[in-house]
Each structure stands twice: as structure tokens, then as C-alpha cells.
Amino acid sequence: MYSFLGRLWDWVVYLKGLCITSLIVPFKLSSSNSQIEVVDFTTSFCESRAFKNNNKGSHEVSSKNKPSINLEFIEWFVGISEAESNFLCRVRKNKEGIVAGFEFVFRIILHSFLCFTQSSCWKIYSWKGYYLCITSKKILGERDLHTLSVESASQEVRISSQVANENGNSIAQGKINNYYISGFIDAEGSFSVLCTRSKKMKLGWRIIVNFQIHLHKRDLELLIRIKEALGGVGSIYNHGSKDCSYMVHSLLDLTNSIIPHFDKYPLLTKKREDYEFFKQVVQMMNNKEHLTEEGFKKILSIKASMRNGLTNALVETFPNIIPVANPVVESPSLQSINPNWIVGFTEGEGCFMIHVQKHSECKLGKAVKLIFQITQHERDKELLNLIILYFNCGTLKTDNHCKVLTVTKFEDVYSIIIPFFQKYPLQGVKQFNFIDFIKAAELIKDKAHLTHEGLEKILFIKSGMNSGRDYSSHSD
């Protein structure tokens, strides 16, 4: 019964409206093996305007004179948790970018502000429309609860405990570096000029300019953060059950947000030629040139020189279109390569792998090799050579029409590649593969791969990387 009432709690809150009240209830659960103590149960419903006006600083809720709790309340709490909560585990890094610990998150989503805290007191801070709840009390034995964070932009509350542990890391949070964005777009972005038939247009054709990133849904959070870093312009769309995309096609947004970004933080691959064509078309459209026959055909000449060229329908309708010359683009130099650009580019085109193969000369009959590689079309082979010079390691190999930058020497992987990506962390789900890559490197460093037990550990790590990874276990 009480579980059922818990499920109805958010409806009760909605009907009662927003009000200011709090309830603090301590209780203990014990077993023969261990004792679990929940020191506080705190519920606050804060009307945001009244909170901001009356609470300019931080407010501490006292833990004195708290009423006791009974089994019926515990059943109620389980009920509301069953309906409106989830439990997450994320990996975290320290300030130096080195694997540092796990973040355990218990989250409840309700119509009003709700906070459960595991300390004898808690503080709420109001900051730019967000509520932050912070404590430094120790829980779970000797482990520290460093932060309790509450994000309330959409009245969604997250409570996080960060526990010191050297076996994990996490996807970095906060604003993404601008050079990272350009590197990632060099790998995964596109600049398109589309022409579609339209009876509403005087010339019978409509021109659409579109900046787009298309990704698997497992990197949806990264897509959202990139959108925010680019000023929040554009929209994110879902495509079926697996894919999603970020698109910007508003002339105003392209002119004021997207183009200024890539002018200041330039692309380094040959994709920059398409960007320069794209920017030229945007400028022409801002000047209304696309509405004239001369301007329209000039845009078609530009489109003919872009990567995807003219469609068959356009070629048949406008057979005399001559492609324009490619724009003059400054070639990248070693000095123009920013480390964050490399991270963004690796996020899209790079890979961390563990290679295990039969080898008769090895003690266990198998050789273990760590491989870091970046794959790119052969037209960008000079850029890959510059990255090799930047790291001062690696080789360039050919695979069909692609060039593959490969680092396989263990000393280079361990002393150059791994420290680099610890200092400049990946931002998407590829970070989880990098974490496993580090685990394997530490085993190899300790010669564990020469033992049956160590080899089995490496094989187990390998089985859960890249295509073998269940990314749903890392999502919110």
C-alpha cells in the first residue's frame, strides 16, 4: 500500500502546488553483516522566485530534534523510488586528468525541488537558476562524499557521491574546448548546400544551407554539449533507434554563431575547402543573390566544386554549369595543431585497440599489442604526417584509399599517447575505451600478460571494448 502511495507522490505535489516546507528524518537499517545508515531524509519544495528573493546566500538545515522513522515510511520511500528514481555509476578523473574514481548517482525527478542528503546538515546555493547542494561529510566507511550536486534547470535533481578509486575515470563535464569542436567537426561534421524544387520560389528551386553532425545515439550527450558550446543554436534530431544529428540551417544562426567559430578556430583537413564554399554561399544568400538567376547559377557552380557535387536532377536541368576553382586555403603546419584539436579529431577518427594474436615464440603462445590509430582519407595524409611529428612517434600505413596513423610500440603508447589523452581527455563515449586501454597497459607494464591470469584479464578487457562494449551501461 505504501509503495503505491509513493508512486502517487508526484501527483500530490503537482495538485498542491509549489510551497516551502521541509522534513528531515533520520533512520537506520541494520543486518548481521553490516549497518547502512541514512542520516538525513530532507524534502524541500522551493518556489524559485521566493527562494531567490529571500535566500541570497546559503541556507543550512539543522539536524536537531529530528523525528524517528518507522517501517511504513521506508516502504513509502521505496515506492516513490521505484516510480521516479534511477541509480547510475560514472567514472571520474582528477584535476590532472588521471584516472581517479567513480561517481555514484541517485536521481529522482519530480515536479518540485527534492533533495535527499547523507549528511547531518546540507546547504543550498542558488546560482543562475540552478540549485547546488554541497556537503563534505564522510560516508561509506572511510570514503569521502565530496559533493552533492543538484541541477534544477528542468526541476531534475541529481545527487552525486564521488568516491576515491583509482580504477575509473569519466567523461569530462563542463564547456568543451573550441579547438576540440573544430577537430571533431573535421572528423564528423559536414557543410552542405542543398537545392530542392519549390513551386513557391520564383526560379522553381529553393537553396538550403546546412551545417550538420551525425552520430550514434550513444554520443547524444556530447552532441548536446557541442550545441551549447556553439551558442545553443540549431536543433538536435533523433533518427530511428540508433542515430541522432545536430543541424543548423538558419542563415542568422550560421552567420552569427557557426561561421565566426570556424573562422577563429579553423578546420585543418581538406574539409575546410567545403567550409569556405559554404561560407561564400551563406554570404550570397544574406545578400539575396540566390533569388536572381545569375546568383542561383553561381551557387550551383560553387556546389559543383564541393564534395558531393551536383545531383543528377540538377545536372539534367542545368547542363552548362561549370565548377569554380577551389579556394586558396593555407596548409596546416605543426604550429597550427592545437592538442585539443587532436583530441576532437581522435574522438571521431581515432581508435584504441588491444590486439592479441598467436605467436609461437611467446611463452603462452599469444602476443599482446596495444594499438592507437587514426584513419583518414589519403587526401589528408600530410596532416597525419604532422600529427606523427607532433607526437614524435608512429607510422603511416595505407589501407585502400585511406591512410592510417598507427602507434604500436609499447614505450610510445605508455609514455606518450596515454599521458597525452590523460592531460587532454576525450569528451565522448570513446573515453571508456581509453580507460580500458590504460588498464591493459598497466597489466603489460607489470608483465602480467606473461602469466595465464594476466592474459585472461587482458582478454576480458578486450572483449568489452569498442564493438564489444555495452554503451547503454554508461548512459543516464
Q: What are phi and psi of 47, to 5 degrees?
A: -70, 120
**Would you state the pLDDT for residue 160?**
28
pTM for this predicted structure = 0.64
Specify the DSSP element, H or E, that contains 126: strand 122-127
Nearest to 86 by CA among 112, 104, 113: 104
The residue range of the domain holding 456 is: 335-474
**Would you state the pLDDT for residue 166?**
32
> Which set of grid coordinates corresponds to residue 147?
559533493
Instruction: Give tens-digit pLDDT for 81-113.
Output: 666 666 666 565 555 555 556 555 565 554 333
Q: Which long-range contacts (CB under 8 A, 24 or more apart) does 440-445 make?
A: 440/354, 440/368, 440/370, 441/370, 441/410, 441/413, 441/414, 444/368, 444/370, 444/410, 445/414
Q: Which of 285, 302, 325 is the last residue of a domain?
A: 285
Q: Among 105-119, 153-167, 397-411, 416-430, where is mean pLDDT lowest?
A: 153-167
Split at pLDDT 50, 70, 90, the class of 400 is: confident
Residues in contact with 417: Cβ distance below 8 Å, sequence separation at least 6, in sequence order? 372, 391, 393, 407
Q: Among 57-71, 126-140, 271-285, 317-331, where is mean pLDDT lowest?
A: 126-140
Do residues 200 and 87 both lie within one domain?
A: no
Residues in contact with 158: Cβ distance below 8 Å, sequence separation at least 6, in sequence order? 105, 107, 149, 150, 151
Do residues 7 and 99 both lie within one domain?
A: yes
Which of 30 and 185 is assigned the larger pLDDT? 185
Do residues 138 and 192 both lie within one domain?
A: no
Do residues 35 and 122 both lie within one domain?
A: yes
Mean pLDDT of the region 310-317: 92
**Would you state the pLDDT for residue 49?**
36
Split at pLDDT 50, 70, 90, the class of 28 is: very low
Residues in contact with 470: Cβ distance below 8 Å, sequence separation at least 6, in sequence order? 464
Q: Which of 113, 142, 164 is the last residue of a domain?
A: 164
| Residue that has been written with the C-alpha cell 589501407 in this structure | 399
Domain-located, residue 327: no
> In whole numbers, what is the pLDDT of the chain averaged over residues?
75
**Would you state the pLDDT for residue 16?**
41
Domain-located, residue 199: yes
Residues in contact with 409: Cβ distance below 8 Å, sequence separation at least 6, in sequence order? 393
Do residues 188 and 242 both lie within one domain?
A: yes
Do residues 128 and 189 both lie within one domain?
A: no
Domain-located, residue 311: no
The residue count of the chain comes to: 476
Do residues 340 and 281 both lie within one domain?
A: no
pLDDT above 80: residue 288: yes
Domain-located, residue 155: yes
CATH of the domain at 399: 3.10.28.10
Mean pLDDT of the region 223-229: 95
Domain-located, residue 128: yes
Do residues 145 and 216 both lie within one domain?
A: no
pLDDT above 70: residue 296: yes
Amino acid code (one letter) for 361:
E
pLDDT above 60: residue 452: yes
pLDDT above 70: residue 469: yes
Do residues 158 and 195 both lie within one domain?
A: no
Domain-located, residue 321: no
Do residues 118 and 207 both lie within one domain?
A: no
Do residues 94 and 23 both lie within one domain?
A: yes
Strand order in the sheet with 156-164: 85-93, 99-109, 156-164
Which of 364 and 439 is assigned the larger pLDDT? 439
Split at pLDDT 50, 70, 90, the class of 354 is: very high
Domain-located, residue 248: yes
Do residues 228 and 355 both lie within one domain?
A: no
Split at pLDDT 50, 70, 90, the class of 449 is: confident
pLDDT above 90: residue 117: no
**Would you state the pLDDT for residue 202?**
86
**Is residue 228 within 8 Å of residue 173, measured between CB atoms?**
no
Work out how many domains the chain is built from and give that number.
3
Percent of the chain with pLDDT over 70: 62
Nearest to 228 by CA among 211, 245, 246: 246
